[in-house]
């Protein structure tokens, strides 16, 4: 997730059990692009002990080939093409999920990249831009290019995060693709993870927003699948996680207000699991000082009660970027 799941965050999350495999933030690729040095550090200084996949986003074939070849000079487990990003500033440039409007162009890009990539080649996709009827055609194209892994987020780009996840489309991908498929979308707890695996028969799961809210999620899933009772954090465990995030994000050049603003990227997700009324999420978005930030966190999290494993269905405005179905 761009500007969120970076190298410092990888290091922090690895301390909570961590993932089996990590995808970098996406390298923006265009004719004048260079490999972003901060994202590249996630590969060259990977602190997790687990494989890292380098993610590309763009539509200019010569530049994608150039970037893929440069990345293969580093210890990457695979090169991934992002065909799923639903952010308007990205898809309006016909990149990320925007490419799903042009299956022929996707076919050309995948063919060129498959020829240029000597390591494993993976793709992340949504099920269409506005209409999922294109998904069968997309799967035919994906199967043609000998992908090593396909990750499917079970929504269209237009749905962003507002709809329920269409797990039946992921199951269809599992059925027809010759490569392993990862299921993505609203994996928010160990129980939900098992449900998604049962519904889709996917080889594994990609988790983003759910892990930001609950960094114990990867280990909870492992515990659940072993038949063990998953670890249940209390309020103070989450409060300690917030402090760790704050320290992780501390930079000498940041003004206090800028640091607090940076933290809101994480609290937007964490806040969905703090209390059901939405008051915490509303108020944390409006603080500007470190004192007010931690005063509010202590008010809601300085307790020993267990935290919910699923996010609350907090009512949000239709224009809110977090608006949608989170469980």
* Tens of pLDDT, residue by residue, the chain (327 residues): 778 889 999 999 999 999 999 999 999 999 999 999 999 999 999 999 999 999 999 999 999 999 999 999 999 999 999 999 999 999 999 999 999 999 999 999 999 999 999 999 999 999 999 999 999 999 999 999 999 999 999 999 999 988 999 999 999 999 999 999 999 999 999 999 999 999 999 999 999 999 999 999 999 999 999 999 999 999 999 999 999 999 998 877 778 888 899 899 999 999 999 999 999 999 999 999 999 999 999 999 999 999 998 999 888 777 776 777 888
Tokens 């308007």 belong to: 88
**CB < 8 Å & 24+ apart, contacts of 190-199:** 190/217, 190/220, 190/221, 190/223, 190/224, 190/225, 190/230, 190/309, 191/224, 191/309, 192/310, 192/327, 193/217, 193/221, 193/224, 194/221, 194/224, 194/225, 196/167, 196/170, 199/167, 199/168, 199/170, 199/171
- Helix axis angle, 37-44 relative to 7-14, nearest 10°? 30
The 181-184 sheet, strands edge to edge = 22-28, 52-57, 78-83, 120-126, 149-153, 181-184, 204-206
Predicted local distance difference test score (pLDDT) of residue 314: 84
Q: What are phi and psi of 159, to 5 degrees?
A: -75, -20
Q: Any idea what the Cα angle at residue 270 is, between residues 268 and 275, rounded to 5°?
A: 105
Q: In this structure, is the dihedral angle defined by the CA atoms of residues 70, 249, 87 and 212, taken in order, positive or negative?
A: positive
Whole-number pLDDT of residue 144: 97
Reported pTM: 0.95
E strand residue ranges, 174-310:
181-184, 204-206
Q: What is the CA radius of gyration of the chain?
A: 20
Query: How many other CB atoms are there within 10 angstroms of residue 173's CB atom?
Result: 26
Q: Can you give the pLDDT at residue 145?
A: 97
Contact 97, 91 (CB under 8 A): yes
């Amino acid at each position: 997730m761009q500007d969120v799941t970076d190298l410092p965050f990888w290091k922090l999350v690895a301390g909570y059990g961590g993932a089996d495999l990590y995808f970098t933030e996406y390298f923006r690729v265009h004719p004048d692009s260079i490999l972003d040095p901060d994202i590249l550090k996630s590969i060259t200084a990977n602190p997790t002990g687990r494989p890292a996949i380098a993610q590309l986003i763009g539509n200019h074939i010569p530049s994608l080939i150039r970037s893929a070849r440069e990345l293969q000079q580093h210890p990457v487990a695979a090169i991934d093409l992002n065909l799923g990003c639903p952010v308007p500033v990205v898809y309006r440039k016909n990149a990320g999920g925007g490419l799903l409007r042009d299956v022929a162009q996707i076919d050309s890009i995948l063919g060129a990249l498959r020829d240029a990539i000597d390591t494993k080649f993976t793709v992340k996709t949504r099920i269409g831009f506005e209409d999922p009827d294109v998904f069968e055609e997309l799967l035919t194209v994906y199967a043609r290019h000998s992908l090593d892994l396909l990750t499917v987020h079970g929504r269209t780009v237009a749905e962003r995060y507002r709809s329920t996840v269409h797990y039946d489309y992921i199951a269809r991908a599992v059925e027809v693709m010759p490569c392993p498929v990862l299921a993505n979308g609203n994996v928010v707890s160990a129980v939900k993870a098992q449900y998604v695996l049962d519904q889709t028969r996917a080889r594994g799961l990609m988790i983003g927003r759910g892990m930001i809210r609950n960094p114990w999620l990867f280990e909870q899933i492992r515990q659940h699948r072993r038949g063990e009772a998953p670890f249940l954090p209390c309020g103070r465990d989450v409060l300690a996680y917030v402090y760790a995030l704050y320290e992780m994000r501390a930079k000498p050049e940041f003004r206090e207000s800028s640091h607090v603003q940076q933290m809101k990227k994480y609290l937007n997700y964490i806040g969905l699991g703090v209390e059901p009324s939405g008051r915490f999420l509303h108020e944390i978005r409006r603080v500007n000082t470190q004192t007010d930030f931690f005063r509010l966190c202590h008010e809601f999290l300085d307790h020993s009660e267990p935290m919910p494993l699923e996010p609350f269905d907090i009512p949000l405005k239709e224009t809110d970027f977090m608006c949608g179905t989170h469980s």
